[in-house]
Structure 1
């Protein structure tokens, strides 16, 4: 930028920002490798299956699924088509609204996610939580809650997180 009055991140803020981005990318790479090696699933497959398996009756309207995943509908449509060819999901007309579609997880999709879930949990524990103490986890939980609240306040068009709330807080 040529504007000398621009406000830049401080060196520490720049370090935190870049470390956050790098950690996110590296963790997703490790998770993607685990999902592929253990279940021939992509990270995108896994995200769709998680959202569907947590939904009532294992199905969601395409628009709601796209909103939950923060994906464009066209991206989700292509992903669902690939997964449908592999028998992981099915797409049908919404019985309550013929203009809409619903996506449902199949038995094969449920088995696939159940197969990779233990390895996924282990991967997340080893690469995220293993070096953190309970107080660190509580602190990060609070920080992310505050940051997500700021994003939703500043960007009301972004759907709020479908993250499950912490059931207990350690002291």
Structure 2
């Protein structure tokens, strides 16, 4: 059986792909640096604090949190350990399931998040949101919703 030729990217596809790769790396790097310099948080740490803060009781199962922040359970466990050492998060066993573990945002963690959020949002606006018009924001949101849906279904 003959091997099929790859579907090479045309110039427009290549342009979109290459600029996405470089742009997202530069954006994540800049936002990470700003959070680290101003608040001693990584972008990944900030995202964990945000996800926990969005829960009514500021707690979430570690397995669900890993899915939400798109991290392996092992990687999330290491991040939560660092956040625990800084007093930003604590772990609690699930009372109804002896194997389940919750990550819980501490009061101190919530205060740190509240201080960091305005600076982070200023960076998100300056480096991304304000560079787009309404149509572009909708297109990007819709496209990456489709990408997430497909990749999560493939897992």
Structure 2 counterparts to residues 77-156 of structure 1, below 5 A: 77-153=77-153, 155=154
CA RMSD of aligned residues (A): 1.7
Structure 2 counterparts to residues 50-89 of structure 1, below 5 A: 50-89=50-89
Q: Deviations over 1:100-159 (max 9, x none)?
A: 111100011101111010111110111112222223223333333344344345x1x3xx
Structure 1 gap ranges (5+): 158-171
Structure 1 residue 15, shift from structure 2 partner: 1.6
* CA spacing shift, 1:8–1:29, aligned 2, 3 Å: same
Range that drifts further, 22-31 or 125-134:
125-134
Paired residues in the alignment total: 153
Q: Deviations over 1:85-105 (max 9, x none)?
A: 110100111111111111100
Range that drifts further, 69-78 or 128-137:
128-137
Structure 2 gap ranges (5+): none
For the residues of structure 1 that align with 2:61 and 2:50, how far apart are their CA atoms?
Answer: 15
Q: Deviations over 1:6-54 (max 9, x none)?
A: 2211122112111101111111111111111221111121111011111
Compute the TM-score of the two structures, normalised by the length of structure 1: 0.82
* Structure whose residues are more often helix by fraction: 2
* CA spacing shift, 1:76–1:146, aligned 2, 3 Å: closer
For the residues of structure 2 that align with 1:148 and 1:89, how far apart are their CA atoms?
Answer: 27
- 2:14 is matched with which residue? 14
